[in-house]
Amino acid sequence: MLRIAVPNKGSLSGPAAEMLHEAGYQQRRESKELRIVDPTNEVEFFYLRPRDIAIYVASGQLDIGLTGRDLLIDSGADAEEILPLGFARSTFRYASKPGTVTGLADLAGKTVATSYEGIVAGHLAEHGIDASVVHLDGAVETAIQLGVAQVIADVVETGTSLRNAGLEVVGEPIMQSEAVVIRRTGADGDDPKVQQFLRRLQGVLVARTYVMMDYDCRVEQLEKAVALTPGLESPTVSPLHNEGWVAVRAMVPAKEAQRIMDDLYDIGARAILTTAIHACRL
């Protein structure tokens, strides 16, 4: 049975459970459940604190974990990222009161408050900056106002929390994060159960980012049309009853679907339809 760690709380837990559900896995019905078995898929899910997931996976007791890239790096655990999942996207940045710190070099001698001590200590050491780090559990934006630190290092998504606290970012982002699948460093990459799990999640990612496009076009326009909709392998082209016309079917990136429909229309394609993809195995 495959043993998988899933975030039990916080920003990652809802979208992670949703993705697993879309991939056909049974999920817990109630937020207090800490472990469930999905007998049909032969998977056991452990609902753990996002911060602890890399540690469990590195210990070898669990095969796979879903967590944030920033949490993985912060933990320093012996685990590696094997699939980015495209949700909980954020940057990790320094911030301070406007005018107090203008660049990275200004951090020397300052105190940085953060919940991600591992990332910050590593980043400061890498740049040879001698600053103190104070660990806080959350809501670190307030640390400056309350005099615990002059600088914070935290997750930034929309920037609303920083703005509300009257802070501005300092320097370039320390890292870009998103939810990721992790395994123990050097674990057997060919394990068929792990491979099947990853294929299912990849199927969800494709179903979320692509749509199916169908249209009719004249044979003379086919080459131009196919250039607009090359599909993943190659589009399906079938003859229509009306001579000189063909029907074309290809997957296209959802974000570009409207632009592609306009371009197809302009070269004479008609009856252009897009439909959602519910599941997929590439």
Ligand X SMILES: O=P(O)(O)OC[C@H]1O[C@H](OP(=O)(O)OP(=O)(O)O)[C@H](O)[C@@H]1O
Ligand Y SMILES: Nc1ncnc2c1ncn2[C@@H]1O[C@H](COP(=O)(O)OP(=O)(O)OP(=O)(O)O)[C@@H](O)[C@H]1O
Which residues in the 63-82 window bind ligand Y by CB under 6 A? 68, 70-71
Segment interacting with ligand X (CB under 6 A) among 79-87, 158-166, 171-179, 251-259: 158-166
Asked if residues 64 and 2 have their Cβ atoms less than 8 Å apart, the reply is: yes
Distance CA(131)–CA(145), nearest Å, equals: 19
Task: Say which residues have a Cβ less than 8 Å from residue 65's Cβ, sequence separation at least 6.
Answer: 4, 5, 6, 48, 53, 54, 56, 57, 79, 181, 182, 183
Which residues in the 141-200 window bind ligand Y by CB under 6 A? 155, 157, 177
Residue corresponding to tokens 């009257």:
166
Q: Which of 160, 234, 238, 242 binds ligand X (CB under 6 A)?
A: 160
Q: How far is the CB of 61 from ligand X (least distance, A)?
A: 27
Question: Measuring CA to CA, how many Å separate 137 from each of 9, 55, 75, 252?
Answer: 14, 18, 14, 43
Helices (H), ranges, the chain: 10-22, 50-59, 69-75, 117-126, 142-145, 160-164, 192-209, 222-228, 257-266
* Amino acid, res. 180: V
Between 6 and 124, CB nearer to ligand Y: 6
Binding of residue 159 to ligand X (CB under 6 A): yes
Q: How far is the CB of 191 from ligand X (least distance, A)?
A: 34
Task: Choose the contact partner of 177 out of ligand Y, ligand X, none; CB within 5 to 8 A by kind.
Answer: ligand Y
Between 137 and 243, CB nearer to ligand X: 137
Three-state DSSP state, 15: helix
Task: Say which residues have a Cβ less than 8 Å from residue 156's Cβ, sequence separation at least 6.
Answer: 90, 91, 92, 93, 95, 162, 169, 173
Q: Which of 2, 10, 133, 247 binds ligand Y (CB under 6 A)?
A: 10
Q: How far is the CB of 221 from ligand X (least distance, A)?
A: 46
Give the residue at shortest CB distance from ligand X.
138
Measure the CA dihedral 75/80/84/89, to 10°: 20
Which residues in the 206-235 window bind ligand Y by CB under 6 A? none
Q: How far is the CB of 81 from ligand Y (least distance, A)?
A: 12
Backbone angle region of 80, left / alpha / beta, with phi > 0 → left and psi within -120 to 50 → alpha: beta
Q: Which of 158, 234, 238, 242 binds ligand X (CB under 6 A)?
A: 158
Binding mask 250-269 for ligand Y (x = CB under 6 A): --------------------
Q: Which of 34, 108, 125, 139 binds ligand X (CB under 6 A)?
A: 139
Asked if residues 6 and 36 have their Cβ atoms less than 8 Å apart, the reply is: no
Task: Choose the contact partner of 139 out of ligand X, ligand Y, none; CB within 5 to 8 A by kind.
Answer: ligand X
Catalog residues that contact ligand X under the rule CB under 6 A: 138-139, 141, 154-161
Query: Binding residues for ligand Y, per CB under 6 A?
Result: 9-12, 50-51, 68, 70-71, 88, 90, 138, 155, 157, 177
